[in-house]
Structure formats: structure tokens, C-alpha cells
Amino acid sequence: MHELENRREKVFNLMKENSAMILFSGVAKICSEDECYPFQSNRHFFYLTNIEQEHSALILVKGVGERKTYLFLDEYDEVKEKWTGKRLTPEEAEEISQIHGTMSMNSLESMMDLILAQYNNQYGKISSLYIDLTPENKIGPALSTLEYEKQIREKYNYIETINAYPIIRDLRMVKSEEEIKNIVEAIEITNTGISQLLISLKPGLREHELSDEFEFYGKKHDRHPLAFSTITAAGKNATCLHHPIEQQNDIIRENDLVLFDLGFAHNGYSADISRTYPVNGKFEGNQKLIYEAVLECNKAVIDFIKPGLTIADLQAYARDFLKNKCVEYKLMSEDEDIVKYYYHNVSHHLGLDTHDSALREKPLENGNVITVEPGLYFAKFGIGVRIEDDVLIHNGKAEVLSKNILKEIRDIEKLLSFKGKR
Ligand SMILES: [Mn+2]
């Protein structure tokens, strides 16, 4: 069975008898006047269709003895294409989504009438409708899914509406082989982008020049999109967790550590990697102590991961570990709170979203892909270190998907000193 058919089959299995589900790709949000933010299909919709196009919809009907799947797209519009470019043809959309016989968005309402009407039609009596009720989910510029649900309840008062979000969220938490391949590919491209950036790394550059270098690599090679905006933060700036691109204007100094948090996406799947490297090629003094503490924590958490634990368990473990290390290395006193120097979470799920749709409280299981990203931030020393890997939980333990990206002190120093000699 095709990957997408398999996903939809799983959704069908979790739906009640005599129910239907409707999902929308959404529309681009207006930024100002007639300018829109870049468009991305609703990720639940994309997960089940692979269709990246505004104003599209998916309907699943689980009627008596039969399961039907319908894809709705905007009708071909010559004038619109002249203004905003090519749209998918029905044939292309069928090929991408593996849904046969696409329909026009103009017929969506009459189709809903047909499905939800209570006379005996081909679907039997449908009594429930699943809608993704995430607030902020837009169907059109002036219509949210919440408002749509209200319209449905008014029009068909015998229909029970159910939130579709958690069903698909739970499926998305366990990755298929194909999804894992996409994430691995995203990580590989990210790794090459990092090597590219390291070639340029030298004192005197502004931070954004390294972000630019990384991003340009992706643009040049198959126009790989970014998974999120690139962070390059030198010295004290690295103690801000998301030092924004607009503020990456500071000059990188010879004795700085520079923190990168970056990733490309591949077929919609994100890589999310953080690394911290010394500009002059050598970790010195507190830089080395802090880096070692974070690196040991990164490895300890990876070893600790197993199915059944929650992300909160990993976080508690990381906190204790970092506290003990910092006390041991005399970076803080016993009575200080580690939260002063480590103020974020150690893990999140990774997938179609960089902070992937997930129920954080759910115990980890095989097939989950999560990040492991401990950090320590000492503003008083002008040092921030984060080391973030992406791991797959497989055969009861964590397999590091980003193992090829330099993180050992000796490997980093060897590479950067070699570079210095050229
Ligand atoms: Mn992350």
C-alpha cells in the first residue's frame, strides 16, 4: 500500500462508525495590503495528502461498509495563473496524493450536503463530523475552522462534531520508514551546510554572514527550504536562545564561542541541529568546562532515553546532570538553581513541524523522533553552549541520526586547526 493510503487507512480505523472528516489546507495569512506571508498547507492536511496548495480540502467518509476519500482543489483559472503562477492540475494532484478523482472546491458545499443529509444515501446515516479545531486554523481569509464548525452545527443540528486534531497528532508522533528517511536526508543536507559555513568561519565577520552562508548553500542546492530561521550567536549573544536574524549584526571575535541553531527541511521534514564552535579553533578555560558539561549531558540523556519515559523525565534528568556537572566544575555553587544557567527544555518531537505536533505527556515509544538539546548559558562569562542532536527511538533505545555532525572537542579542534593552517 502507498504511504499516504496507509496513513489515511490508519485515520479511518480510528474514526467512529458512520462518521466523516474534513480537513483544509488553509490560505496564506495576509501580512499587509495585498502581501501575504509564505504559504504552507496545514500540516495535518499535508500529512494525509502531500498537497501544498492553498484552498484545498480533504474529506474522508466512513459510511456503512465503505470508506471514501475525496480531494477538492480550486478549479483551473486562467486569469489567476497569469497573476500568481501555476496551480496543480487534477492529474498532478492525483499523482501526489494518490487520491483518484479530484473535485472542484466549488462543489464542496453540495458534497457536504450529500454526505451529511439524513436520507438514505450511499453513505448511510453519517452522525459525526471530525474537524481540526485548532484555533487560528483558517479555511479562508475570513473563516476559521472554529467558525466553520459552528456553521455545520447550525445547518445540521443532528451532527456531532469532534476535534480531528488529536487523532492525526498521535499518528504523526510515530514515524514511518519514509518519514525517517526524509528527516535523515534533511540532517545530511544540514550537515553539509554546516561544513560550508565552517569554511567561512573567521574573526571579523558579522554573525548574520554565517547564517547567510548556510542559507545560501541550501538555496544553491535544490533550493532546500529552511526548517526555521537560522541562528548564529557569538559570545554573550548565545545566552539568548533565539538570537534573531535581524539582530545578528555583532562582529565575531577571535576568542568567542559561536552557537549555531539551524536546519533545512526535506520533503517537508525538518532537521533541527545546534552546535557551538570556537572561532579560533580551540576551547579554552571556562569555554572548555562548559562545553564538556553540555556534551556529557547530551550523551548521558541519549543513553538514558528508552520507551516509557516522558520528555519531562528527560528534562528532570538533564537538569540534575547539568547541576552536578556545574558544581563539580565549580561553575556554580551548590545552593544556586540550575535554571539560572539552563532555561529551556531538553527535547521536543521533530517531523513535519520543527516543534512537531505531539502530546508531550505521552510516554516515548519506538518510532518517535525527538531532539536532545541541553545547553548552558553564562552571561557573566559571555558564553552560551547548546549541543542539539536529532534521535530516533528504535529497538528500545535512542539512535543518533545526526551522528555525523561534529561535536567532540578533539574533532572540532582538529578540523578548525587544519583550516587555520591552509
Ligand atoms: Mn530544537
pLDDT, tens digit, 9 for 90 and up, residues 105-137: 999 999 999 999 876 567 778 999 999 998 778
Compute the distance between CA of residue 213 and CA of residue 235 in angstroms, rounded to an integer: 19
Q: How confident is the model at residue 422 (pLDDT cuts 50, 70, 90)?
A: very low
Residue 420 confidence (pLDDT) above 70: no
Helix (H, G, I), strand (E, B) or coil at 321: helix
Q: How far is the CA of 348 from the centre of ligand 1 (A)?
A: 7
Q: How far is the CA of 272 from the centre of ligand 1 (A)?
A: 5
By the 10 Å C-beta count (0-12 exposed, 13-18 middle, 19+ buried), 133 is classed as: middle
Q: How far is the CA of 415 from the centre of ligand 1 (A)?
A: 25
In angstroms, the first-to-last Cα distance of the chain is 53
Compute the distance between CA of residue 270 and CA of residue 394 in angstroms, rounded to an integer: 19
**Class of 3-171 in CATH:** alpha beta
Which residue type does 47 have? Y
Q: How far is the CA of 418 from the centre of ligand 1 (A)?
A: 30
CATH fold label, 174-421: Creatine Amidinohydrolase (3.90.230)
- Whose CA is closest to 278, among 309, 221, 241, 235? 235
Q: Where in the chain is the domain with CATH 3.90.230.10?
A: 174-421
Q: How far is the CA of 145 from the centre of ligand 1 (A)?
A: 29
Residue 143 confidence (pLDDT) above 90: no
Q: Confirm if 387 and 402 have CB atoms less than 8 A apart.
A: no
Residue 64 confidence (pLDDT) above 90: no
Output the pLDDT for position 121: 67
Output the pLDDT for position 417: 84
pTM summary value:
0.95
Q: Where in the chain is the domain with CATH 3.40.350.10?
A: 3-171
Mean pLDDT of 6-15: 97
Q: How far is the CA of 349 from the centre of ligand 1 (A)?
A: 9
